[in-house]
Amino acid sequence: MSQSRIMPGFRPALGFTLFYLGLVVLIPLSTLIFKSLQLGWQDYVNIITHNRVLAAFRVSFVTALVAAAIASFFGFIIAWVFTRYSFTGKKLMDALIDLPFALPTAVAGIVLATIFQPSGILGKFLIDSFNLRIAYTPSGIVVALIFISIPFVVRTVEPVLQEFDSRMEEAASSLGATRLQVFTKIIFPNIFPALLTGFALAFARGVGEYGSVIFIAGNIPYISEIVPLLIVTKLEQYEYAGATAIALTMLVISFALLLFINLLQMWIRKRSGQL
Amino acid sequence: MSILLNNISKNYGTFSALNNINLEIPAGELVALLGPSGCGKTTLLRIIAGLEYADEGRVILNGVDETDQHVSRRGIGFVFQHYALFRHMTVFDNVAFGLRVKHKRDRPSETIIKQKVHDLLNLVQLDWLHNRHPDQLSGGQRQRIALARALAVEPSVLLLDEPFGALDASVRKDLRIWLRNLHSQLHVTSIFVTHDQEEAMEVASQVVVLNKGIIEQQGSPSDIYDHPANAFVSKFIGQTNVFHVDSPSRLWLESTGLRPAMETQIAHVRPHDIEITKAVNESGASAIIEDWQHLGALIRIVLSNNLPHNETNTLVYAEMSNESFKQLELRKGDKVDVRIRQVHWFH
Amino acid sequence: MRWSLTAIALAFIALFLCLPLLLIITAAFAKGWSAYWSELTDHDTLSAIKLTLLTALITVPLNTVFGIAAAWAITRFEFIGKSLLTTLIDLPFSVSPVISGLIFVLLFGKQGWFGDWLYAHDIKIIFAVPGIVIVTLFITFPFVARELIPLMQEMGNEEEEAALSLGASGWKTFLFITLPNIKWALLYGILLCNARAMGEFGAVSVVSGHIRGLTNTLPLHVEVSYNEYNSVAAFASASILAGLAIVTLILKSFLEWQQAHDRA
């Protein structure tokens, strides 16, 4: 590397970046670790293995997983329809997909709660016809998380489908593959890594989601109480240590899962020769 | 304005891009930095420009040591390989940019800028395009605008990185001649980088051949062609037949009447230095006609040797004019006598 | 196949995206225009709007400056730890909003690192406006940078080098060459940053203390009103935020179109 740089502004730009990153992100985040360190191992284990905490973790991760899976399914169909077919109003629909990104989570929360509550438009219909309660059950959490997740899936799959080389399909067809075979053997394997990315993003977001969930969840301990809410509850009772322990655990698990999914994705890419 | 490079070295990690380069370019020359890709020619050009700093060595422009001077204060003009025209500006604004960003006390008035830009656009014969944006121009037009932009600041040195690299073959031919003419009008010391030996020979008044970070040879095009300093230059410039003297080709060379000195190992013979005549005596003939190809005015003849013990039959290429070839009335399999007019011996 | 897939996609969009938007409007106007209007012009609502605007007004410019500096440093220079820096910038995206709030309580709260010092100097951050601003700063931290970094990477720096070789100073090069080339992506990042700054709920809710008329932002005001069974008030405020979301989506489409147009 040369002793000085041709492009101007290296020192101020990097200096400010590091200073601001440290001040706004790194120092605050490090409190989580230091605060946890003040806690003894036994105290930590006691907090984390409390039944209510374990139940909350189960609720958070299971609902996020289910929601991400459902969102991946529908998101894939939506991305497929948007890239393959044309119909009037497609542009508008496409823009609308980002609504969950743009709509504040609290607004999403109260709207979904109102729709799915037993007296709500859909809530009443589902109870009357299928005896299915959505609001104030774990299903309600799943519904809220599907809403939040859908753009993650659509926006990661859409560009890959768009750039998919349709000559591969034509080649497969010319070799005698049926339409189903073309899909399962040609298209899906090429789209799968992107779908997995979308799934991972949706899942990561879902685990930490708070605003859109708490209104529809009912927040019944052991049944429909999510981890973020438990953290808030602990904070409101000034149990800082408990809140910190739970928060750190959640962060570590989420990061580990994301790392795992990233590795999985790399493995899939490598295996299918896309790396 | 002369350019003097003193012991320039540049490393990227453990890779030595330039190794102790010394080069002197007199004012007013049009110099080609010629070499295969990865030889360090672009790095050298960027170091002269100040777009990169050397690890060691000095850059002296017109007697002034500019080694530590920033690119914006070196007074050079640089034409980038892909032109780097400002996409969001019109052709006019692109050319005017260098004048408009001058410090207030040096900045000409807007009327003078306007006059100057139009003059430059006229010089490159593209004034009619002054309102267009770069994406509305052809490759050749972009190249000429990039040149006009670089000339606007009246640079003491003009540096061009692969100026014809991104152009179609036909446009390239025209622009080469055009650049040469432009240079003879302006006389600004110019250096251009190229990997195309034909282009270097056609355009430049001086050619500097680089390979693996060192200068192999510097000289006029005819100098370099007629007196290559080493095997690399000889092979890189123009076509050549390569003979390793320790192999059976030694016998063949001797059969044409050549006597390799003991210490030489390689002989280079240009195809047009091989003269062919109908064999006087078939058993004593040194070559057999295998095939030939038409290259426009020239014919390329493929010969194999006619040695009694011919284990490795290397093919030899000779060239002669269409006309003389017809007069010889040769057919495939004919035996011919070969005379070699000129050989370059290398160690 | 084609029609059934299209039907599924459209049904999903109608149910999950269109229906909520419609519901906000019908619920906001459930008791008529005047009830809606009086809720909007209610003192607490107005102060929530003011606080939301103030928060965005402080955080968006700061994170914009940061985003430009970070993108410049990362895309225009080589240095050790560059990829780590790029990863760290995205960190706030992978932290749950509630945890984002929590870390600032741990820093500035009564039992926090600076708790005693702040208390001694009578400075309130948690359960006060500064806390809301700081936590929003954290939440919206990556938006501008992550729009600019891939774009500037792809652009390369040849045009900037050309400007420098023509004698332009660093500042002029940035102003006349870089900025015009990144303007749409920059606006895009600012737009998303602003939408999140105005709409953030979880993190802000942790540090705000929910003091009506003082530390309630608009999303918090929605929550408070909803929990008090004041549906019209909740949905009136929600309608503003939904309007903001719609405007954001429209501008976003416009900016995406501009960007595609520029690059073509």
CATH number for the domain spanning A193: value is: 1.10.3720.10
Q: Are residues A50 and A111 in the same domain?
A: yes
Would the CB atoms of C70 and A17 count as touching at under 8 Å?
A: yes
pLDDT digits (tens, 9 = 90+) for C97-122: 999 999 999 999 888 888 888 888 88
Q: Are residues A162 and A180 in the same domain?
A: yes
Burial environment of residue B277 by CB neighbours within 10 A (0 to 12, 13 to 18, 19 or more)? exposed
How far does C58 lie from chain A, in Å, by closest CA?
A: 14
Would the CB atoms of C113 and A31 count as touching at under 8 Å?
A: yes
| Chain A residues whose beta carbon lies within 8 Å of the beta carbon of residue C109 | 240
Q: Are residues A102 and A199 in the same domain?
A: yes
Domains of chain C: 32-263 (1.10.3720.10)
> How does pLDDT run along chain B (347 residues), one tens digit per residue?
789 999 999 998 889 999 999 999 999 999 999 999 889 999 999 999 999 999 999 999 988 999 999 998 888 999 998 899 998 999 999 999 999 998 888 899 999 999 999 999 999 999 999 999 999 999 899 999 999 999 999 999 999 999 888 788 888 888 899 899 999 998 899 999 999 999 999 999 999 999 999 999 999 999 999 899 998 999 998 888 888 877 767 777 777 777 776 667 788 889 988 888 888 877 777 888 889 898 888 899 998 877 766 556 678 899 988 888 888 888 888 888 888 888 888 87
- Tally of CB atoms within 10 A around B112: 11
Residue C73's contacts (CB-CB under 8 Å, 6 or more residues apart) are A10, A13, A14, A17, C79, C85
Determine which of C16, C18, C248 to mutate to test the interface with A (most A C-beta atoms within 10 Å): C16
Residue A29 has pLDDT above 50, yes or no: yes
Angstrom distance (rounded) from CA C30 to CA A225: 31
Angstrom distance (rounded) from CA B271 to CA A215: 87
Angstrom distance (rounded) from CA B97 to CA C163: 8
Give the sign of the dihedral formed by CA C208, CA C209, CA C215, CA C220. positive
- The DSSP element (H or E) to which A231 belongs, if any, is helix A227-236
Q: Is B174 left (phi over 0), alpha (psi -120 to 50) or beta?
A: alpha
What confidence tier does A1 reach under pLDDT thresholds 50, 70, 90?
very low
Q: Angle of helix A138-163 relative to helix A51-84, nearest 10 degrees?
A: 40
B18: β partners: B10
Instruction: Return the pLDDT at A4.
Output: 58
Give the sign of the dihedral formed by CA B56, CA B57, CA B58, CA B59. negative
- List the Cα angle B66/B68/B69 in 5-degree steps: 60
Q: Are residues A63 and A93 in the same domain?
A: yes
Amino acid at B137: L
Q: Are residues A107 and A179 in the same domain?
A: yes
Copy the structure tokens of residue B179: 């650049």
Which contacts qualify for C152-158: CB closer than 8 Å, 24 or more apart? C152/C71, C152/C72, C152/C75, C152/C76, C152/C178, C152/C182, C153/C75, C155/C181, C155/C182, C157/A7, C157/C75, C157/C76, C158/B80, C158/B82, C158/B84
pLDDT digits (tens, 9 = 90+) for A61-91: 999 999 999 999 999 999 999 999 888 888 8
Residue A242's contacts (CB-CB under 8 Å, 6 or more residues apart) are A47, A234
Would the CB atoms of B87 and C181 count as touching at under 8 Å?
A: yes
Would the CB atoms of C165 and B82 count as touching at under 8 Å?
A: no
pTM of the model: 0.87
Q: Are residues A129 and A144 in the same domain?
A: yes
Q: Are residues A79 and A166 in the same domain?
A: yes
CB B203 within 8 Å of CB B32: yes
Instruction: Return the pLDDT at B283.
Output: 75
- CB distance from C158 to chain B under 8 Å? yes
Would the CB atoms of C165 and B88 count as touching at under 8 Å?
A: no
Would the CB atoms of A6 and B50 count as touching at under 8 Å?
A: yes
Closest CA to C200 of A141, B82, A212: A212
Report phi then psi at B62, rounded to 5.
50, 40
Sheet containing B206-211: order of strands? B76-79, B157-161, B189-194, B30-34, B206-211, B214-219
Of B50, B51, B53, nearest to A3 by CB-CB distance is B53
Domain ranges, residue A25: 7-37
Residue A249's contacts (CB-CB under 8 Å, 6 or more residues apart) are A48, A57
Q: Are residues A100 and A30 in the same domain?
A: no
Q: Are residues A95 and A115 in the same domain?
A: yes
Q: Are residues A45 and A32 in the same domain?
A: no
Angstrom distance (rounded) from CA B203 to CA B197: 10
Angstrom distance (rounded) from CA A20 to CA C190: 18
Instruction: Return the pLDDT at A267.
Output: 83
| Chain B residues whose beta carbon lies within 8 Å of the beta carbon of residue C159 | 84-87
Q: Are residues A20 and A78 in the same domain?
A: no
Torsion of CA A82, A84, A85, A90, to 10 degrees: 20
Angstrom distance (rounded) from CA B143 to CA B182: 14
Of A28, A97, A250, nearest to C96 by CB-CB distance is A250
| DSSP 8-state code for residue B283 | G
User: Which chains have at least 3 CB atom pairs separated by less than 8 Å from chain C?
Assistant: A, B
**What average pLDDT does this structure show over C68-93?**
92
**What average pLDDT does this structure show over C124-138?**
93
CB C210 within 8 Å of CB C44: no
Q: Tell me if A174 is assigned to some domain.
A: yes
- Tell me, rounded to whole angstroms, the distance of Cα B309 from its chain centroid: 41
Amino acid at B29: E
Model ipTM value: 0.91
Instruction: Return the pLDDT at B262.
Output: 66
With H, G, I as helix, E, B as strand and everything else as coil, classify residue B157. strand
| DSSP 8-state code for residue A182 | I
**What average pLDDT does this structure show over A171-191?**
85
CB A30 within 8 Å of CB C183: no
Angstrom distance (rounded) from CA C92 to CA C249: 23
Would the CB atoms of B102 and C167 count as touching at under 8 Å?
A: yes
**Which of A145-154, B327-336, C133-142, C217-226 shows the lowest per-residue confidence on average (mean pLDDT)?**
B327-336
Q: Tell me if A22 is assigned to some domain.
A: yes
Report how far apart, in Å, the C-alpha atoms of B247 and of each of A124, B111, B310, B314, C241 are. 96, 72, 11, 10, 86
Q: Tell me if A2 is assigned to some domain.
A: no
Quote the number of domains for chain A: 2
Would the CB atoms of B51 and A6 count as touching at under 8 Å?
A: yes
Would the CB atoms of C167 and B72 count as touching at under 8 Å?
A: yes
Closest CA to A117 of A215, A206, A212: A215
Instruction: Return the pLDDT at C53.
Output: 96
The residues in B 31-70 lying below 8 A from A, measured between CB atoms, are 50-53, 55, 68, 70
Residue of A nearest to B13 (CA): A1
Angstrom distance (rounded) from CA C204 to CA A210: 11
What confidence tier does A37 reach under pLDDT thresholds 50, 70, 90?
confident
Q: Tell me if A1 is assigned to some domain.
A: no
Determine which of C2, C59, C95, C179 to mutate to test the interface with A (most A C-beta atoms within 10 Å): C95
Instruction: Return the pLDDT at A273.
Output: 64
Determine which of B12, B97, B157 to mutate to test the interface with C (most C C-beta atoms within 10 Å): B97
Would the CB atoms of A9 and C170 count as touching at under 8 Å?
A: yes
Residue C153's contacts (CB-CB under 8 Å, 6 or more residues apart) are C75
Beta strands B214-219 and B206-211: pairing type? Answer: antiparallel
Residue of B nearest to A6 (CA): B51
| DSSP 8-state code for residue C210 | -
Rg (CA), chain C: 22
Could you give the count of Cα atoms lying within 13 Å of B180 in the half-sphere of its Cβ? 15
Residue A2 has pLDDT above 60, yes or no: no
Would the CB atoms of C102 and A29 count as touching at under 8 Å?
A: no
Instruction: Return the pLDDT at B310.
Output: 57
| Chain C residues whose beta carbon lies within 8 Å of the beta carbon of residue B80 | 158, 161-162
Closest CA to A107 of C229, C50, C243, C219: C219
| Chain C residues whose beta carbon lies within 8 Å of the beta carbon of residue A13 | 69-70, 72-73, 76
Residue of C nearest to A87 (CA): C6
How far does B70 lie from chain A, in Å, by closest CA?
A: 7
- The DSSP element (H or E) to which B16 belongs, if any, is strand B15-25
User: Which chains have at least 3 CB atom pairs separated by less than 8 Å from chain A?
Assistant: B, C
What confidence tier does A3 reach under pLDDT thresholds 50, 70, 90?
very low
pLDDT digits (tens, 9 = 90+) for C172-201: 999 999 999 999 999 999 999 999 999 999
| DSSP 8-state code for residue A25 | I
Q: Are residues A61 and A149 in the same domain?
A: yes
Lookup result for tokens 């809140």: A243
**Which of A224-238, A252-266, B138-152, C64-78 shows the lowest per-residue confidence on average (mean pLDDT)?**
A252-266
How far does A251 lie from chain C, in Å, by closest CA?
A: 7
Sheet containing B241-244: order of strands? B241-244, B266-269, B344-346
The residues in C 176-235 lying below 8 A from B, measured between CB atoms, are 176-177, 180-181
Number of A:C CB contacts under 8 A?
Answer: 257
Angstrom distance (rounded) from CA C40 to CA B298: 90
Copy the structure tokens of residue A142: 């799943």
